[in-house]
Amino acid sequence: MSRKKIVCTLGKFDIPIIQLQPDFNVDLLDSNVAVIGASMSGKTTFLKTLINILHKRMNEKEERIFILDFGGALSDYRDMPLVSAYFDNSNEEYVKRVFKIMDNILKENIKVLNGKNYREAADEQPIHTTFIIDNLNAFTEESRYTAYQEKLAKLCRDGLSKGITIVITAGDTRGLNPYMASFRQKIAFELPADKYVDIFNEKAGSVGNNPGHGFANVTVKPEGITGTFKMNLPYEVQCLKAQTAADPDGRNVTFGQGIGEKYAFDSETGEYGRHVRRYLTFPKELTPEEYERLAQKPDHEEEKLCPVSVGLDYVDFCPVTIDLARTNTVAIYGKKEFGKTNLLTLLLDGLVKQADELRIVFFDDGRGQLKQLHSRYGSECDCVMINGFEKRDLALKDGNIIKDRKLSPIQQFYLYLNENYIELDKRFLAGIYGVSDALKKEYENIPDCAAEETPFTVFVIQSKLVYLNTPEGKRFINSILPQLAAVAEERGLLFIFSDVQKISDAEQNSFFNNNISYAFLLDNIAEFAGERGQKTVFGNMDVKTLKEDYAKCEVGDGYSYDIEADRLVKLKFIKHGKDD
C-alpha cells in the first residue's frame, strides 16, 4: 500500500479571519520546508520536533533522515534509529559525501518509480528520505561549497516528487534566492519586517523575542474549516517544543522511553535493535581499535596471498587492502608530515606478521630517515641498511682485493643488487670498482652475481639520488628497475618508493611511471594532479572531475590507486607509529 501523505503536526496557527487556532500541519510529501529566523528564535527546536514526530509516526522501513549540521546543535540526534547519517562541517568530505548519497538515492528512486510520482506508486514505493540542513547560510557563504550548491538546487527541484523532502534552516534570506521557489512551506521566526516580505511576498506583524513564535503560510488546509482564507499569506504560528511526547500507544511517557520501546533499545549496548542503514563518520584519528570497530565487510572480496589493510574508504568504510605478494612496485607520494612514514610502517608491519622469511633492504641517501624503522624490524627479520658513504674492500675474480674503496649510498645499493639479485652491466660496475673500462679483461674481472635462493625481499627506497637526472639515477630507473619488476613476483621482490620526488628527465619519468603498479597519495589529489601534470601516475586524471568528486584531505586522509585495475579510492589511514 502506497503512502499518500506524511502529515506532521508542528504547532498551532492563529488565523483571525476564521477566528480559529487550527493545528499547524505540514505534509512532507507535498512541501519542502524552510525555517528562517534569528539566533535563538526556535529554528533548531523546530527541527528536533520534526525529527521526534517522524520517529513516532514512521518506522525504519518507511523513513530515513539525513542531517547536515552546520550549527552543531543536532549532534545529540546522530544515533537516533531513523537517522541514517549525521554529518557536520568539520570535514569537507562529509559535505561532498552527503550530496553523493542524495544523488544516488534520487537516481535509484527515479528508477524504481519508473516515471510515477512518489504518491502514485502502489507496490514499489521506496523508503521516504528527509534531508535536513541546519544553518544553510554557512553552506551558501563558503566558497569551498560552491560546487555543491547546484546539486542542492537540483534536489530541491526534483526530490519531492521522488520521495526526498528537503528541510532547511537559515538565519537570513541572504543567498537563498536560488532555492526558495522550491520551498512551498515557509516559517519565519523573529525577523525584521522587510525580511518577511522577502519570504512571503507579504508584510507580517511582529512577534518580538519569543522563541518558537513566528509566521508561516498554510500548506495543509485545516480540517473542519468552513470559512475561506488565503493559504499563502503569513499567519502567526506557535511551534511545539521537542522535549516530550507520548508513545504510539498513547501512554504519558517521555519521548525517549517511547522510542526506546518502539525501536528495541538495548541499554547494555546503547544501541537500537531496529534502525535504518547507518552511514558512518571517522574519528579525528583512526586508531587500530577504531578501525576494527568501524570496518564494514565488503560485498565482494578478492582472494589475496599477503593482504595488508591500511585504512577504510570514505564511502562504505570497507578496508582498503593491498596484496603485497602480487604487487611489484609501490609508490608513496605526499606532503611532509602527512603520514608517509606511518603508511610505510603499516605496510612493513603487515609483511613482518605474514612472511615466513623476510628481508628488508633500506636504501637511504644519508638523511637517516629510515634508521628508526631499521631498528624496529632488525630483531624480527633480516634487515640491511644502506645509508651514507662507506669504505669497502672489494674482491675481484682473480683474487685481488681493492682496499678501502669509498662508495656512495647509491654505489653500495648497486653493488648489493649485483651481489645478491641481478647481474649488472660490467661496464657500469667498473666505475664502482675503480677499474678501467677501456680494457675488456679488467672489467670482466668484476665478480658475477652470486645469488642463490633469497627470502621475500622488500626494498624500501627513500633516496633522492634515484630521481636525479644523473647517469647513476637514470641507470636504476631506466634499466635496472624494469628488469627487476619483470621478475619480482616470481622471485619474491617488492619495491616501495616511500617518498617519491619529482623527476625532471622525461624519459626517466616515463620509465618510472610505467613500472609502478600501485600508488598512495597523501595530498589533495586535484591540486597534486594539476600542479605536477603528466609527471606522475596521477597525471592523466582530469583535474576538473577530481575537484568535483573529492574534497580536500584532512591529516590522515589520502588516496589508494590500484593502477592495474584503474581503481582510485579515498581513505582514512590507520594511525600507527610516528608520522614523518
Specify whether 193 is located in the same domain as 253: yes
Q: What is the pLDDT of residue 249?
A: 46
Specify whether 242 is located in the same domain as 228: yes
Q: What is the mean pLDDT of residues 427-447?
A: 76
Specify whether 141 is located in the same domain as 254: yes
Specify whether 557 is located in the same domain as 493: yes
Does 279 map to a domain? no
Residue that is last in its domain, among 272, 297, 329: 272
Instruction: Give the separation between CA 218 and CA 223, rounded to whole angstroms.
Output: 12
Q: What is the mean pLDDT of residues 62-77?
A: 93
Task: Report pTM.
Answer: 0.80
Does 561 map to a domain? yes
Specify whether 320 is located in the same domain as 368: yes
Specify whether 436 is located in the same domain as 478: no
Percent of the chain with pLDDT over 70: 96
Question: Domain range spanning residue 338?
Answer: 289-377+457-573
Residue that is last in its domain, among 404, 428, 454: 454
* Complete DSSP assignment for 73-135: --GGGTTSTTEEEEEESSSHHHHHHHHHHHHHHHHHHHHHHTT--GGG-SS--PPEEEEEEE-
Instruction: Give the separation between CA 291 and CA 283, rounded to whole angstroms.
Output: 10
Band of pLDDT at residue 243, cut at 50, 70 and 90:
low
Higher pLDDT, 303 or 129: 129
Q: What is the pLDDT of residue 338?
A: 85
Nearest to 51 by CA among 186, 165, 183: 165
Q: What is the pLDDT of residue 366?
A: 72
Q: What is the mean pLDDT of residues 243-261?
A: 62
Q: What is the pLDDT of residue 550?
A: 87
Does 312 map to a domain? yes
Instruction: Give the separation between CA 562 and CA 564, rounded to whole angstroms.
Output: 6
Specify whether 430 is located in the same domain as 489: no
Band of pLDDT at residue 520, cut at 50, 70 and 90:
very high
Specify whether 441 is located in the same domain as 330: no
Judged by DSSP in three states, 167 sits in strand
Q: What is the pLDDT of residue 161?
A: 94
User: What CA–CA distances, in Å, run from 143 to 62, 102, 429, 552?
Assistant: 36, 21, 57, 13
Q: What is the pLDDT of residue 392?
A: 85
| 91 phi, psi to nearest 5 deg | -135, 120
Specify whether 63 is located in the same domain as 77: yes
Specify whether 444 is located in the same domain as 463: no
Specify whether 44 is located in the same domain as 151: yes
Does 282 map to a domain? no
Tell the burial category of 399 from Cβ atoms under 10 Å away from its Cβ (0-12, 13-18, 19+): exposed
Tell me: the pLDDT tens digits for 187-232?
999 888 888 888 998 888 877 788 889 999 999 988 877 777 888 8
Does 3 map to a domain? no
CATH of residue 108 = 3.40.50.300
Our count of domains for the chain comes to 3
Band of pLDDT at residue 253, cut at 50, 70 and 90:
low
Percent of the chain with pLDDT over 90: 48
Does 13 map to a domain? yes
Does 384 map to a domain? no
Specify whether 235 is located in the same domain as 144: yes
Q: Which secondary structure element, helix H or strand E, spans residue 373, and what is its range?
A: helix 371-377
Q: What is the mean pLDDT of the chain?
A: 88
User: What CA–CA distances, in Å, run from 54 to 10, 57, 326?
Assistant: 11, 5, 51
Residue that is last in its domain, among 407, 434, 454: 454
Q: What is the mean pLDDT of residues 259-264?
A: 92
Instruction: Give the separation between CA 128 and CA 97, rounded to whole angstroms.
Output: 19
Q: What is the pLDDT of residue 245?
A: 42
